[in-house]
Amino acid sequence: MARRVALRARSRQGTAPQLSRASHCRATASAAEERPLDEANWRRKHKYAVKLAYDGGNFAGFQLQAGVVSPRRTVQGELERCLTQLTGAERAVLGVGGVGRTDKGVHACAQWVHFWAEAPLRAGGRKLMGGLNGLMDADVRCHDVKEVPPQFHARRSALQKEYRYYIDTGPHLDPLRRHTALHLHQHLDMGALSEACARFEGMHDFSAFANSIRDRSARQTTKVRTIAQCTAEPTESGVVIVVRSPGFLYRQVRNMVGTLVRCGSGKVGPEEVTRLLEGQVPRSRAPKAAPAHGLVLHDVTYPSFVWDMDYCAKRGDDVYREILELKGIDVSFESDSNDSEVGQGATLRPV
């Protein structure tokens, strides 16, 4: 009996721990992902940026839905499908990244996207525009193509992003605008609307205007944002809300518009904006977000030098520091967060 116990003990000591089949598969998949990533970085030789416009009505947002059993159609997925055909590069090599992760139903006329190629594209990439527009579906189009320096990053190099939210007012819905503007039967008080907009401008904690994000890699550690402009401008059919900022929280603009509509319709006063920003009103009592179809990513501002191949070749990594300084960020501060307004010493570098 003692002999059998000793033999079992020696057997257990000399046997390496065995992984379950599921653990083994995860470990193998992880190792397989690391190898192609290193190879993909080595194969990335030339960088380009394309400017896209799209009707977001039939898209489940911009970002590719990785790990989903039945992934829905996205702008990134549509672009990658065409780029792989035109450049011959695999998805891992392309490294596609957009300036904004527009949500389902949100439109864009200035969605800048960067990607890599193994070989230089003909005519500096200018002929790529025709190829993309010939392959992509009719609800997305390429309006510009540029060869860019390696330091360029569609999101992190951007100084300002401008969103516009269109609201039509009046007794009758315009059927031609039902997918591109929110329709309200009542007219909005422009005075109250303008005062409420002004209260958003400046640096504030926008926790009350942010939705939670399921994707952990996209979660933002700070809810403080700076709104450079928030104005209400009259149009022939109603009003457009213009919001500019270096970066936004998830669904921040739509939540802001939801509050502005309540102010303009007289349901709450403009001071409600201040109460929400100061945390006097709980997030659960914040107004519902405005529908996605009225929102458009209208414009993006970049520093001129991020397009200059010669300048960036001479400046090297100092380009990242210059971008941070233009954003008013302390260049001595480094963070691994994904926040577009937080200093990112190492993570600002292109991937």
Active site residue 330: no
Give residue 247's region: left, alpha or beta (phi > 0; psi -120 to 50): beta
Catalytic option among 103, 137, 168, 310? 103
**Dihedral sign computed on CA atoms, order 290, 298, 142, 90:** negative
C-alpha 176/C-alpha 260 separation (Å) is: 25
Beta strand pairing call for 140-148 and 107-117: unpaired
Q: What are the C-alpha distances in Å from 348 to residues 51, 100, 275, 329, 338?
A: 21, 16, 34, 12, 10
Spatial contact of 117 and 146, defined as CB atoms under 8 Å apart: no
* Among 192, 295, 187, 315, residue whose Cα is nearest residue 248: 295
Phi-psi group of 40: left, alpha or beta (phi > 0 → left; psi -120 to 50 → alpha; rest → beta): alpha
The CA-based diameter of the chain, rounded to the nearest angstrom, is 95
Positions marked active-site: 103
